[in-house]
Structure 1
């Protein structure tokens, strides 16, 4: 809910004049709000808004409809004092991740120095799905600070000096297409490095990608993908190599397909199911690196427990996603199983031959 801080309203008057230029909250001059793209009539989110002076400018000067969110009560109290009566501006005192997961998707999301770079990295999965398809994300981040919070390769493999395009890589791993980056040099005292301004866009359709460049091991060419869907959404986890995927894995010798679904679901998520609560959809056949790959999609109709990361598993960070806000970078096999289940889902993936099983 919009938050008001009466104490902050009494103590604070925003000294920023209404015509003050737009800035990105870090040392050094940069482009103005034109970097955000078209704003008139667009739903915009200011993440880590502080006193909300930038958000108020976008409402007044461009006719945007802006939600301004900050987890600090004092900041929202100051924002309410300065701009609380402005039509078209809503102020929220909320945890950022909670807001991103529950709010209606936005046309544009930006963070102008109000969120630490480490927190932005942590929020990337939620940022990707909080944008409408085709929506724009703009971030200002300190120069030289793009190292992932959760590396997708062993930490020893990271160079001591991060590559200059590492933020581009991070955004691409979450399915966002980088359109432009601007490096802003800091002025003033020595030792200030300035910042990088990155603009990325969410594709109109979710696109699947391989987990890695190597083909699957020959003995692991048949596996299952478990579709767990209920009132809270679809369950997906993030592989350490960056793809989002269904619970699932390799069929072991002597196992039935339903038994494999039950075992993999328990091993990866902690959820408990019985073979009688598993409905097999059919077999998907494609190839990877010259090896024929078979995936059996399955719907889990009954389960118990709460999903949680499990020790020594390569997939974790389990989350529930609504079907109209699926994360980009779905693993190919998971994407294929999902479109076998629901052909209407907007997912692009490598072709696979699907043989449905009889009901």
Structure 2
């Protein structure tokens, strides 16, 4: 079980990235964490910032770990299930955040559901993989691809992830009805570790989503 968190770690290693500061004032705010894993970030926001946090994960094992370790912390609730389904039925959140997990969900499902739930001006803050350990960068094709997660004392596990260029993420968010306020790359200050994450801060617009966006096969020269 990982140690309790004293900040949100957005990047590929603890301490990389801006921490909690980008989430804004949290006291009393209704927050959702998508893909909470062991639940330590949600517990931190409830315990140290007095946010009202729902934290959801698909894994029964992770849900049980989170509930066992942090379930008695006031202001946090751990949910087992599909985040997209939950977003369509839950009361609106003021802020939704996710560390790495949105890369596992089809953005054509996730982003409209997020817009549906968030009020105008509601914020979405998330990090996703940009460059992996094999130095493979993001794809300019709008499709998931196979990645391998390296687990301690286990063979690499294949998973399907949406590892997209910054331009594609911005286009998808724009089409879904979000304005991107900040889009940063988080790197490890270590020449032997090529892993990079994108950190995206967006807010829900008041206007309707665009009907169509950029060609999904377009090249992103800035990736």
TM-score, length-normalised on structure 2? 0.74
- Following TM superposition, by how much is the alpha carbon of 1:118 offset from its aligned partner in structure 2, in angstroms? 4.8
Matches within 5 A, 1:333-344: none
Aligned position for 1:99: 86
- Following TM superposition, by how much is the alpha carbon of 1:170 offset from its aligned partner in structure 2, in angstroms? 1.2
Aligned position for 1:193: 195
Gaps of at least 5 residues in structure 1 are: 1-13, 151-161, 212-240, 243-359
Runs of 4+ in 1 over 4 A off after TM superposition: none
- Following TM superposition, by how much is the alpha carbon of 1:32 offset from its aligned partner in structure 2, in angstroms? 0.5
Aligned position for 1:21: 7
Provide the C-alpha distance between the structure 1 equivalents of 2:187 and 2:36, rounded to a whole number of angstroms: 23
Q: Are 2:142 and 1:148 equivalent residues in the alignment?
A: yes
Classify the secondary structure of the residue corresponding to 1:196.
Answer: strand
- Following TM superposition, by how much is the alpha carbon of 1:138 offset from its aligned partner in structure 2, in angstroms? 0.7
Query: Are 2:121 and 2:204, in contact at CA under 8 Å, matched by a contact in 1?
Result: yes
Question: Which has more strand, going by share of residues?
Answer: 1
Provide the C-alpha distance between the structure 2 equivalents of 1:167 and 1:110, rounded to a whole number of angstroms: 15
Q: Are 2:54 and 1:60 equivalent residues in the alignment?
A: no
- Following TM superposition, by how much is the alpha carbon of 1:23 offset from its aligned partner in structure 2, in angstroms? 0.3
Aligned position for 1:170: 172
Provide the C-alpha distance between the structure 2 equivalents of 1:189 and 1:82, rounded to a whole number of angstroms: 36
Larger radius of gyration: 1
Matches within 5 A, 1:66-85: 66-85=53-72
Query: Are 1:117 and 1:141, in contact at CA under 8 Å, matched by a contact in 2?
Result: no
Classify the secondary structure of the residue corresponding to 2:194.
Answer: coil
- Following TM superposition, by how much is the alpha carbon of 1:100 offset from its aligned partner in structure 2, in angstroms? 1.3
Matches within 5 A, 1:1-359: 14-17=1-4, 20-24=6-10, 26-27=12-13, 29-120=16-107, 122-143=109-130, 144-145=138-139, 147-149=141-143, 164-188=166-190, 190=192, 192-203=194-205, 205-207=206-208, 209=210, 211=211, 241=212
- Following TM superposition, by how much is the alpha carbon of 1:123 offset from its aligned partner in structure 2, in angstroms? 1.1
Specify which structure has the bigger relative contact order, considering alpha-carbon pairs within 8 angstroms and separated by 6 or more residues: 2
1:266-298 deviation line (CA, Å, top 9, x unaligned)? xxxxxxxxxxxxxxxxxxxxxxxxxxxxxxxxx
- Following TM superposition, by how much is the alpha carbon of 1:74 offset from its aligned partner in structure 2, in angstroms? 0.3
Query: Are 1:148 and 1:170, in contact at CA under 8 Å, matched by a contact in 2?
Result: no
Provide the C-alpha distance between the structure 2 equivalents of 1:195 and 1:84, rounded to a whole number of angstroms: 29
1:19-60 deviation line (CA, Å, top 9, x unaligned)? x33202634711111111221111000000001100011111
Query: Are 2:11 and 2:196, in contact at CA under 8 Å, matched by a contact in 1?
Result: no
RMSD across aligned positions (CA): 2.5
- Following TM superposition, by how much is the alpha carbon of 1:190 offset from its aligned partner in structure 2, in angstroms? 3.4
Query: Are 1:118 and 1:149, in contact at CA under 8 Å, matched by a contact in 2?
Result: no
TM-score, length-normalised on structure 1? 0.48
How many equivalent residue pairs? Answer: 187
Provide the C-alpha distance between the structure 2 equivalents of 1:25 and 1:79, rounded to a whole number of angstroms: 21
